[in-house]
Structure 1
Amino acid sequence: MVFAMLSHAAIAQDQTVIEIQSPVLVIDQDRLFAETRLGSRAQADFEAHAQALAAENQRIEAELIAREQELTELRPNTAPEEFRAMADEFDARVERIRSEQDEKARLLNRSREEARQNFFGEVAEIISEIVRDKGAVVVIDRRDVFLSADRIDITEEAIALVNEKLE
């Protein structure tokens, strides 16, 4: 019985060492970005731009569908050469618009990535402070870890500290 209690105490002691002095910590970068005020503002800004682009795409799609319907109605009463010219112009317009909208989407995604990079640049010193306080040497994103003890996850602490220091 005493041996069992001693071994339990040793396990508890080992867990304390892991919790306090683990050289490896994990963090959920997505949660950190989403659940801090700074990150959620950046995400909200991205979402607003994405919704505006989606609305623009829907408006353009409706215009193109209407023009396609016009062309369909004109076809029986239009000379083949004239109709071919209108159809070619329409196809070129569709391709140009598709290219323009794809570029807007690429730029939007690039700005989203830049916002995330800027965010992590701004919070790096705060995360470094947590790492120093815990005596760790590395922080790994939770997605890259197969299995870990919850005690080495600093996400909650990082969210609270970022909200405290960057507001």
Structure 2
Amino acid sequence: MAGIRHVLHAAAFGLAALAFAAPEGAAQSTPVSGDILVLNQDRLLSQTQYGQRIQRELEAASSALAAQNREIEAQLTAEELELTDLRATLEPADFREMADEFDERVSSIRAAQDAKTRDLQSQAEAARQRFFEEIVPILLDLVESEGAAVLLDSRTVLLSAGSVDITDRAISEIDTALGQGGVAPLFTTFD
């Protein structure tokens, strides 16, 4: 409850600051200089060139891993059918030994593929974290150029005037400063 009260006070303070920023009818720059600015972090990740590159490379790596999983599944299905066909021609003990070996191999492959999925998720989180770390200086410059003291994620703000949202400007500044965030691949491929 204290967190909500804090956000409401911050929003009210921000709106009050906007009301006194300039006399009615006076020209104001966009965004309005004040104590509090907001931006949408999700849009920074989805609409900057760098963020879009992260998403493209993540989708490509996910698709490659999914294709690899389908290929492995097809191979294992074919092996399972072969094993099933051999059942009639083998001694029960020999079949059981082959079936147990197959089951162990399937479990091992499943564990390896699950580890690759977890690794890809970790890489995605690391890429997003790196993105946000690299944009901090750009956002700090924007906050300072507007004379603001606080920058809030728009998801934490209950109510704000649109003129305090600097998301579009931040996207432009990030694209100018970082472009696509380099050329080195962001995700490893899985063999």
Q: Kindly report which structure 2 residues correspond to 1:1-167, keeping only aligned pairs within 5 A, or say none.
A: 14=19, 20-167=32-179
Report the TM-score, using the length of structure 2 for normalisation. 0.73
Return the letter of the residue paired with 1:31: R
Structure 2 unaligned regions, length at least 5: 1-15, 23-30, 180-191
Paired with 1:23 and 1:66, the residues of 2 have a C-alpha distance of 66
Query: Please, which moves more after superposition, 22-31 or 120-129?
Result: 22-31
Q: In structure 1, list runs of 5 or more residues that go unmatched.
A: 1-10
Deviations 1:45-98 (A, max 9, x none): 222111111110110011111111112212222211111111111111111111
Measured after TM superposition, the shift of residue 103 of structure 1 is 0.8
Deviations 1:84-125 (A, max 9, x none): 111111111111111101111111111111111111111111
Aligned identity (percent) is: 45
Please state whether the residue corresponding to 1:86 is helix, strand or coil: helix
Task: Give the drift of 1:33.
Answer: 1.4
Which deviates further from its counterpart, 68-77 or 121-130?
68-77
The Cα shift of 1:15 comes to 7.5
Count residues with an aligned counterpart.
156
| Residue 154 to residue 71, structure 1, CA distance change in 2 (3 Å) | same
What is the aligned-residue RMSD (CA, Å)?
Answer: 2.2
In structure 2, what residue type is equivalent to 1:104? K
Match of 1:7 in 2: none
**Residue 24 of structure 1: how far off its partner (Å):** 2.7
Q: Report the secondary structure of 2:88's partner residue.
A: helix
Contact 2:139 2:170 in 1 (8 A): yes
User: C-alpha displacement at 1:23, in angstroms?
Assistant: 2.7
> Which is richer in helix?
1
Closer, same or farther in 2 for the Cα pair 1:127/1:79, shift >3 Å? same
